[in-house]
Amino acid sequence: MFVMDTVTQRAIKKFPHRAVDIAQSYDWKQLQCKEWLCDNLELISNFKFKRIYIAGGWYGNILCPKLKELFPETSIRLHDIDEEAIGICKNIFFKDDKDVKPDIVDCNEYLYKYFVINTSCEHMPPINIRPDTYVALQSNDYFGIEGHVNCVRSATELAEQYKVKEIYYQGSMTFDKYTRYMVIGKV
């Protein structure tokens, strides 16, 4: 039986018009893909990062707690263009968390370094990443969906798009209507 945590309850009560969107962030496919990412981030969890960036981080409610377990001494910067989602992150999900800093940032206008995670690659053109930056990228082949402006047909295509030169992991996860691809590596 699923029991909604009090923080999520507070978010939905304060922002009832976002209830469906917040609930969608807990969709079983969202959870499975974030779990898949974190299971494979263990390959680099012994690396020390000054900071982890999450591009297109939405609410961060699923990924940030998992990242904090894997990289307990690293600060997290969560970027999204959705001002209200960032407000919910800042004022509800991570209100008292000094290690998670949500900000309204257009990911296409930012130059990423250290380590960047983008589980929303299908929603944006490839972001700017400095050489020697670690990346964890997820996209899919679900073409024809509103908002999907940059789908790929394989993990190899995703790695090529981002010019990943060292690949630590690449793979796919198949769902009914699409396949999700992931690449973890260094550009």
Question: pLDDT 10s digit of each residue in the chain, 187 long?
Answer: 566 789 999 999 999 999 999 999 999 999 999 999 999 998 888 888 989 999 999 999 999 999 999 999 899 999 999 999 999 999 999 999 999 999 999 999 999 999 999 999 999 999 999 999 999 999 999 998 899 999 999 999 999 999 999 999 999 999 999 999 999 999 9
Domain boundaries, the chain: 7-186
Whether the model pTM is above 0.75: yes
Q: How far is Cα 57 from Cα 103, in angstroms, rounded to an integer? A: 10
Q: Any bridge partners for residue 186, and if so which?
A: 134, 166
Q: How far is Cα 168 from Cα 178, in angstroms, rounded to an integer? A: 24
> In terms of Cα–Cα distance, which of 124, 69, 121, 74 is closest to 101?
74
Among the CATH numbers 3.40.50.150, 3.40.950.10, 3.40.50.300, 3.10.560.10, which is that of 7-186?
3.40.50.150
